[in-house]
Structure 1
């Protein structure tokens, strides 16, 4: 039986405090020397912060080969999250997603995944040469948003591709949609395939009550968890969780292919401290978050025109569960794209939400929020409806367009390419990414056929104010297509 560790400990934080107390004279990097060499930076970030922005050394361990305090901190994280092992990640969850795919797959291997994955997953295919077998997610026709993968669709993909190495699952999606992860894990394992879970938005599943099940509790082999998103650590800090007897040494070697050798101790210590906080207080933290979100959801739905969706989404074959901490709001009912409301909230009301697409917005509510903050958001949405609402006729009505994949992402990305104006690219194979950020889910990926619908969507999204990224041409007037 696994022995639970004392979660009130924070070994990495304690080691950094001891380092400060020892008043070590630094003749190593970083060159700001605890802030003394850059007074303006010290003034901006604070002396306490810069005093622990240090380099790897024996008393502080080394992320690439942890044997002491980082090792202890990772063991505590694994215990808290119910994993066999946890890796601290300082390159963002992107590095964790890449490590999952590159651990499971080599060049030419197939991996089953939904097409509405984050760009980091498709970038992983470009890096390692794996070939995607896309499962089109379900779609909610009213909201126009992609849902999860149905178990039946995953089963069909497995039966058609019995040599695939893994099944990749988004859980939850940006909108809060969860697939039937437990059933997918059982199905994949029965066919000798690993299950990799992009759990970037699911830290709270491990600690809250009444929430969808976590990847580790469902038996997944690997999960990438953005502790910074809803768990309180610093931006860019994350966890990679593994179980089922995976080779820890091999996974660490894969991580070392893309993760920095100069790990930030600010990020590492924030993971250690946040894990401690969640392990000790996570239950009450996320109970409070749920109360705030449910209150906001109810108030927004009373305004009229908006639709803040919740548990009623469940019951569809592609929606096994809904993450009730997500404040996802459908906006087309008031004749405004989500990105338009996103801009209005920031520019006119001083409120920064997570993202807006062409029909929805997402506001992240966390332990750092309170009733007054939620009231301010609800009031601003009421004012926007009263002052800015329009006739919704003619608005683009869906976020997900089924791709036509005709070449592997790696082959298309490295192929000879030419630039064409967007409208003239219809019919060609895409040689780069086109996506709105956030959320960072590609509209087009390398190897996909460019269609009129996709170009119409892209131009519409730009006109509404979405930030398009992924293309070499920053002006987004031309696109790289595969030559020939």
Structure 2
């Protein structure tokens, strides 16, 4: 297909030049009703914030330019179908899970999944069966799903309908997605991939395997992360084993009927950019990340990890575009480094957890920005380094699942002080965001270890989200034990 084409963008440009009189929504009428919005976003941007109409197609039932853009995206990614998503990858993940599963059906997945996966289980009533990931003792991070662990889980749960895998994790850890997909298919299960952090895998060279090309049946891909489109724009990919028309029906259950053409056109333009220039662009990203790791490791104390973690199992491969740095050996939690970089050096990295910090590199980064980051980290070590005694090690806490997420979320509940919830069943989410991986999910039993982890994360300044009580002094738990 002609990857130089961008059908949605081209249709918008043609429409903008037609000077059509708007008696439809949005109400700002090409910005005339909201001049401050025009001043902020620009006339060209606001004038193309339009509603669905025949010349511009309709995302809920595309028949022309959006359909063509989706076909081009499917071709670029090597998928059977590509669905443009304007509700973020959260919407793509939830549509993926709900397309594969119905109420009461089981899905095998690692526990270190994004909250969107757990939210999908709340919505559709599917039952999670966890493969607890191995952890790196030094880094305190969960690793990938090993094939051996998956095989054992399938033996115990042969009636599961799907397997879900992170490809890659936030930290760059990749499982053997090709073998996982083959094993799932052997047992009559679908293979789903959360590729929120893996757009570049489809376009770069010498990178880990992209899920759809490795045989996965569906993949939720965050184009706005490493792909360069506008925030909240995403793509859901499907393979030949999946009924695309049914997936569209599932998507339309929750996705807006007023899709933003700013988001849609950004997906269209970004797909074109990656199809034409992605190979060279991501080669440069890898080069920058490798250089940054070398410079950071030369500082001493910090550990910017990479492909040396590969072990053929739980770390089958490593995404070298990810610049994750272990910070505990300089006596600082990752979240502390995150805060210092922002507050004192005007450097905004992606996130910090209890032991690591992550700088997200992609197609817009420059060598001088890398140099600035390295210099700041060196200075932070000189100014703030201390003994690491007393710092909590980042660790994966295996969940104690008591009831399904859907049951717990909707069951009668009561609010208790956090310190009094040990032994009770949680009915809401608790997580640090980013990365948005739940510490607690609905249906899991609260333990003293989890309470201490939450308390410590709050103390260190992690951004905590999920519960009704924004201060996370209280937690909703089931009224009656099950």
TM-score (norm 1): 0.99
Identify the range of structure 1 (366-375 vs 269-278) with the bigger mean alpha-carbon deviation: 366-375
Give the aligned length: 480
* Residue 388 (1) aligns with residue 381 (2): no
Match 1:123 to one of 119, 124, 127 = 119
59, 66, 72: which one pairs with 1:76?
72
Q: Please state if 1:37 is matched with 2:37.
A: no
* 2:11 paired with 1:10: no
Q: Secondary structure at the match of 1:41?
A: helix
Find the aligned partners of 2:35 and 2:395 in 1 and give their Cα distance.
47
What residue is the counterpart of 2:435 in the other structure? 439
Q: Does 1:92 align with 2:96?
A: no
2:219 alignment counterpart = 223
Is 1:376 equivalent to 2:376 in the alignment?
Answer: no
User: Residues 286-337 of structure 1: CA distance to partner in whole angstroms, max 9, x if unpaired?
Assistant: 0110111100000000001100000001015200000000000000010100
Among candidates 188, 194, 208, match of residue 190 of structure 2: 194
Task: Identify the residue that residue 321 of structure 1 maps to in structure 2.
Answer: 317
Match of 1:141 in 2: 137
Map Cα deviations across residues 16-51 of structure 1 (whole Å, 9 max, x no partner).
000011111100000001111100000000000001
Match of 2:106 in 1: 110
CA separation in 2, counterparts of 1:140 and 1:231? Answer: 29
**Is contact 2:168–2:319 with CA below 8 Å preserved after alignment?**
yes
- Please point out which of 459, 463, 467 is paired with 1:463: 459
Q: Select 1:426's aligned residue among 412, 422, 426.
A: 422
Give CA-to-partner distance per residue, 1:369-395, whole Å, 9 cap, x none: 111000000000000000001110121
In the alignment, which of 402, 406, 422 is matched to residue 406 of structure 1?
Answer: 402
| Aligned counterpart for 2:259 among listed residues 254, 257, 263 | 263
Q: Match for residue 46 of structure 1?
A: 42
Let me know the Cα RMSD of the aligned residues: 0.6
Is contact 1:84–1:245 with CA below 8 Å preserved after alignment? Answer: no
Q: What's the secondary structure of 1:351's corresponding residue? A: coil
Distance 2:363 2:420 in 1: 48
Q: Unpaired runs of 5+ in structure 2?
A: none
Residue 207 of structure 2 corresponds to which residue in structure 1?
Answer: 211
Counterpart check, 1:24 vs 2:17: no
Following superposition, the deviation at residue 399 of structure 1 comes to 3.0
SS in 1 for 2:214: coil
- 2:243 matches 1:236: no
- 1:306-385 matches, within 5 Å, as 306-315=302-311, 317-385=313-381
Q: Is the 2:219–2:238 contact (alpha carbons within 8 Å) kept by the matching residues of 1?
A: yes
Give the drift of 1:199: 0.3
Contact 1:430/1:446 (CA < 8 Å) preserved in 2?
A: yes
Q: Does 1:157 align with 2:167?
A: no
**Equivalent residue of 1:100, what SS?**
helix
How much has 1:396 moved relative to structure 2?
A: 1.0
The structure 1 segments of at least 4 consecutive aligned residues displaced by more than 4 Å after TM superposition are none
Instruction: Report the Cα distance in structure 1 between the residues aligned to 2:283 and 2:290, rounded to whole angstroms.
Output: 11
Deviation at 1:366, TM superposition (A): 1.4
| Residues 290 and 325 in structure 1, CA contact (< 8 A), matched pair in contact too | yes
Distance in 2 separating the partners of 1:317 and 1:250: 35
**Unmatched tracts of structure 1, length 5 or more:** none
SS in 2 for 1:145: coil
2:470 maps to: 474
Measured after TM superposition, the shift of residue 106 of structure 1 is: 0.3
